[in-house]
Structure formats: C-alpha cells, structure tokens
Amino acid sequence: MFSIAAGVMLIAGVLLAVDPAGVWRALQKVPPGHVLAAFALVQLQVVLSALRWRFTAQRLGHSIPVWLAIREYYLGTVLNQTLPGGIIGDAARVYRVQQEEAGGWKRAATAVALERLSGQLAFFLLTCCGLVAWVTLLPEQLPLAAAELFWTVATLVGALAVGLALFAKPLWRRFGRFAPDLAAVFWERGAAVIQLGLSSLVVGTYVLTFVIASDAIGAPLPPIAAVTIIPLCLLTMLIPIGIGGWGTREAAAAALWPLFGFTGAEGLAASLLYGLLSLVGAALPGVVVLVLSIVRGAGRTS
C-alpha cells in the first residue's frame, strides 16, 4: 500500500507543479495510429523477451515451449506493472514454469534472473552510450555541467572498481558456483551475439514506444533523445517507489523534456501515455493468451 500511495502522491505532485490543463489537452489529441503502432511494439517487446527467456533457459538445460514462454511472459509483465515490487511477475514465471516443466525451481529461477540481467546489461550499455553522446554532442543541454558529470561518473566507476577489488575473493566464494551458468548463457556457442541482439531489440522497443508516446501528445523528440533523456526516464523506474515505475518516470520526464524545448506538462503527458500504452498493450493480449491456454487445456482433458 505504501508503494501505491507513494506513486500516486508523486504523480499528483508533479501534475500540480506543471500545468494540469496542459497535460489533459496533450492527452486529448493522441492519434489512433500512434496508439496502434505502440501496441504493435509492445507485442514485439513481449515476444522478443519471451524468446530471450526461452534461449536462456535452454542454455541452462531447462526446455520451455515457445507458446508457454510467450504466455507466461505476458502474464508476468502485467503482474510486474500492476503489483508492488516489480518482481512478482518474475516469481510467478518461476513457479508456473517449474510446475509444468522438468528442471526444478532452481533452474527456473536462475533462467529468469539471468534473462532479466541480460536486459539490464543492454539497457546499461545504452545509457552509457547516451551519456557519451550527451557530453560530446549536446553539452549545453546537460542537466549537470559536463565537467561535473564527468567527475561524478568517474568517481562512481572508481568506487565500484575499488569495491570489486576489495571484495573479489568473498564474492567469488559466494557466487563462483554460478560461473558455468553465466558462461553458458552469455558466452559459449555464440550466446553473446544472441543475447546482445535480443536484448538490444527489446530495449529498442521500450525507447521507440516512448518516442511514439511523446510524438502522439504533440512533443516530437529529436533522434538524440532516444539515447539521452528517454533512457534516463526509464532508468528511474528501478527506484522502488510506486508500482511499475509510475511516479518516478513521470517526475523525470517533467524535468527532462524542457531540455529539448518542450514543457514539463508535455513530458508528464508523454510518460503517462507511455505507461498506459505499455500496460494496456500487454494486458489485453495477456487476457487473450490466458483464455486460449484455458481453452486448450480444457480441450485436452475432455
């Protein structure tokens, strides 16, 4: 309940801080074509993510049929976006797949964790590329001075390196047993190419959906925004406030859209529309997939 209240209060606060009437006007003029395009991207996003999960599980010796992977990923996506924590859908995937397929819950849990890690690594790579592009191409539009940003990032990287050096042995003793799984999933037999390709495509669907949402409310972003402000907005969804990134994402969009000449109200409207398109785009097909699976199950038992 606290997460729900925090997310609602944050959105309400941002709405009052900008122009509520402007947000409503922006949302009223969304073209149907943009909605259909975003819905199509969400389907591609879920299917590609399900294939990435299936590939990861296969490399761990856990076979998941394509239909089952897609069905469970739809349901997991909806749960992650509507329930606190953002991982309940992942836990449900572990439970439901290990119930239906051989391999046990440990194999299923490892596959889900490493599949999510693959996506986070691709997103981290995009964010780093965006920071480089921002510093080199648009230094005057940085929310921080270029030098300040450089030293902030350098300090964080240095602290991370020192931490890893100090705790390398304890970490290896604790997590070294996962080295064979990591190698199988991310390196051996061309796994790196497949993981990078699938995860890059998935991240691309997230970013492009946001671009479409912003264009739909009348704030067409330049191409450079796809690797600068949009990844930063999506990155705030990892902050454990609200549900499914609602609230933190809107606050970031309201603050960042003015860097490209738009209003905070337009940034808020774009983020709200992105959230709605992502949720409904996954929920409606998820219901259809669930009904079809029930009908298929009933057909087998009759």
**Which residues in the chain belong to E strands, given as ranges?**
none
DSSP state, residue 222: P
Spell out the long-range contacts of 289-294 with Cβ–Cβ below 8 A and sequence spacing 24 or more: 289/70, 289/71, 289/74, 289/75, 290/71, 290/74, 290/75, 293/71
pLDDT in tens, 18-28: 878 888 888 88
Residues above pLDDT 70, as percent of the chain: 75
Instruction: Decide if pLDDT at 166 tops 90.
Output: no
Per-residue model confidence (pLDDT) at position 62: 82
pLDDT band at 171 (very low <50, low <70, confident <90, very high): very low
**Mean per-residue pLDDT, 177-187:** 77
Q: Is 209 helix (H, G, I), strand (E, B) or coil?
A: helix
Is the Cβ–Cβ distance between 171 and 160 less than 8 Å? Answer: no
pLDDT digits (tens, 9 = 90+) for 7-52: 667 777 777 778 788 888 888 889 999 999 999 999 999 999 999 9
Radius of gyration of the chain (CA): 21
Q: 250 φ, ψ to 5°?
A: -70, -40
The pLDDT tens digits for 97-152 are 765 545 567 778 888 888 998 888 888 888 888 877 777 766 666 555 545 555 56
Q: pTM of the full predicted structure?
A: 0.83
Q: What is the mean pLDDT of residues 184-194?
A: 85
Q: Give the pLDDT score at 232.
A: 86
Give the pLDDT of residue 213.
95
Task: Using pLDDT thresholds of 50, 70 and 90, give the confidence band for residue 96.
Answer: confident
Q: What is the pLDDT of residue 250?
A: 87
* Cα dihedral value 171, 174, 177, 182, nearest 10: -40
* Residue-averaged pLDDT of the chain: 80
Look at residue 295 in the predicted model and tell me its pLDDT: 67
**Phi/psi zone of residue 261: left (φ > 0), alpha (ψ -120 to 50 degrees), beta?**
left
Most confident range, picked from 58-72, 112-126, 196-210, 287-301: 196-210
Q: Provide the pLDDT confidence category of residue 273 given band limits of 50, 70 and 90.
A: very high
Residue 210 neighbours by CB under 8 Å, 6+ apart: 230, 233, 234, 270, 271, 274
Average pLDDT over residues 268-292: 85
Q: What is the mean pLDDT of residues 254-278?
A: 91
More confident residue, 109 or 193: 193
Task: Give the residue with greater pLDDT, 173 vs 126.
Answer: 126
What tens digit of pLDDT does each residue of 223-259 get?
Answer: 888 888 898 888 888 777 767 778 888 888 988 898 8
Token pair in block for residue 150: 């450089």
221's enclosing H/E stretch is: none
Long-range contacts of 109-116 (CB under 8 A, 24+ apart): 110/60, 110/178, 110/181, 111/53, 111/56, 111/57, 111/60, 111/62, 112/53, 114/56, 114/60, 114/181, 114/182, 114/185, 114/186, 115/49, 115/52, 115/53, 115/56, 115/57, 116/90
